[in-house]
Amino acid sequence: MMASWNNNRKIKGVLLDISGVLFESGAGVPIDGSVEAVKRLQSAGLPVRFCTNETTMTRNMLTEKLHRLGFSMKDEEIFPPIPAVCKVLQKRNLRPHLLVHPTAALDFEGIDTLNPNCVVLGDATAEFTYHNLNKAFQALMSMEKPILFSLGMGRYYKEEEELVLDVGPFAKALEFAADVKAEIVGKPSETFFSSVLEDMGVSPENAVMVGDDIVSDVGGAQACGMLGIQVRTGKFRPQDESHPKVKPDSFADNLLAAVDLILQASK
């Protein structure tokens, strides 16, 4: 079935989610047609940026993984939350207490973590122990004005056929315990999307985001004034077609079908 949409905007830039759009989480192969789809966008001369809330590996490792799967992109075309939060920390003169994945921690190199005055929470997976959560909580309680950053706010994702907790639930736990509201860095934060658009030099009304997370990807992009396409891969569930809050500008069976729509709208 050929996807179609009711869109009269001219598309000049494309944002793509990675996990669930380019490949299935945990799987070692690309989603059918996704390598070809990205190539078509690039050949058409459309700027493409890759927006992910991935915080379990460094940006370099992620680029290498994508290259191994057959995708072509530069390191700086990939936008994960850690480089973004590092800019915020430096700008606001903040020293983080980190509760993040040990591998991703490498991307914090050069960031001063002595005598912390904020907490940064990533998808720490097995590092989410009672001990480590207590340490992050105690750090917050020791601050006169506690500051908590959450790298995304995902509820869960699929890992080797099991649903596992993402960073969001742990951010909620610390919010409740320390009576603080987390600042989200990553999708669906408007600041995060804006920095990507700025990098492309494209205004939101000429940009489209393609994602598998109806709230974080599609809803987040639409809230910034972009178009949002929901793919039926990754964490997509049939209930998303009648989501109570988010109505995508289009659904597409996969990235390749989404790219068909986008290329039509880019001429």
Candidates 65-73, 164-172, 183-191, 206-214; binding stretch for a second copy (CB under 8 A): 164-172
Determine, following the binding rule CB under 8 A, whether residue 175 of this chain makes contact with a second copy: yes
Residue type, 52: T
DSSP string, 121-186: E---GGG--HHHHHHHHHHHHTSSS--EEEE----EEEETTEEEE-HHHHHHHHHHHHT--PEEES
Determine, following the binding rule CB under 8 A, whether residue 179 of this chain makes contact with a second copy: yes
* Residue whose CB is less far from a second copy, 113 or 129: 129
Do the bridges between strand 162-165 and strand 156-159 make them parallel or antiparallel, or are there none, so unpaired?
antiparallel
Rounded to a whole number of angstroms, the minimum distance from the CB of residue 173 to a second copy is 4
Burial of 56 (0-12, 13-18, 19+ CB in 10 A): middle
Tokens of 9: 């905007």
Determine, following the binding rule CB under 8 A, whether residue 29 of this chain makes contact with a second copy: no
Query: Residues 132, 153: contact at Cβ < 8 Å?
Result: no
Q: At what angle do helices 190-200 and 81-91 cross, to 10 degrees?
A: 100
* Residue whose CB is less far from a second copy, 1 or 126: 126
Burial of 76 (0-12, 13-18, 19+ CB in 10 A): exposed
Residue type, 135: K
**Member of 74, 145, 176, 245 binding a second copy (CB under 8 A):** 176
Determine, following the binding rule CB under 8 A, whether residue 181 of this chain makes contact with a second copy: no
Rounded to a whole number of angstroms, the minimum distance from the CB of residue 154 to a second copy is 9
User: How many residues of this chain bind a second copy (CB under 8 A)?
Assistant: 30
**Member of 113, 156, 181, 205 binding a second copy (CB under 8 A):** 156
* Residue whose CB is less far from a second copy, 61 or 173: 173
Of 155, 143, 154, nearest to 119 (Cα)?
A: 143
**Member of 148, 151, 174, 221 binding a second copy (CB under 8 A):** 174
Candidates 10-18, 70-78, 126-134, 188-196; binding stretch for a second copy (CB under 8 A): 126-134
* Residue whose CB is less far from a second copy, 68 or 130: 130
Rounded to a whole number of angstroms, the minimum distance from the CB of residue 100 to a second copy is 13
* N-terminal to C-terminal alpha carbon distance within the chain: 22
Determine, following the binding rule CB under 8 A, whether residue 25 of this chain makes contact with a second copy: no
For a second copy, what does the binding mask look like between residues 129 and 148, x meaning CB under 8 A? xxx-xx--xx--x-------
Of 212, 217, 247, 137, nearest to 182 (Cα)?
A: 137
Query: Where do contacts with a second copy occur on this chain (CB under 8 A)?
Result: 124-131, 133-134, 137-138, 141, 155-156, 162-166, 168-170, 172-177, 179
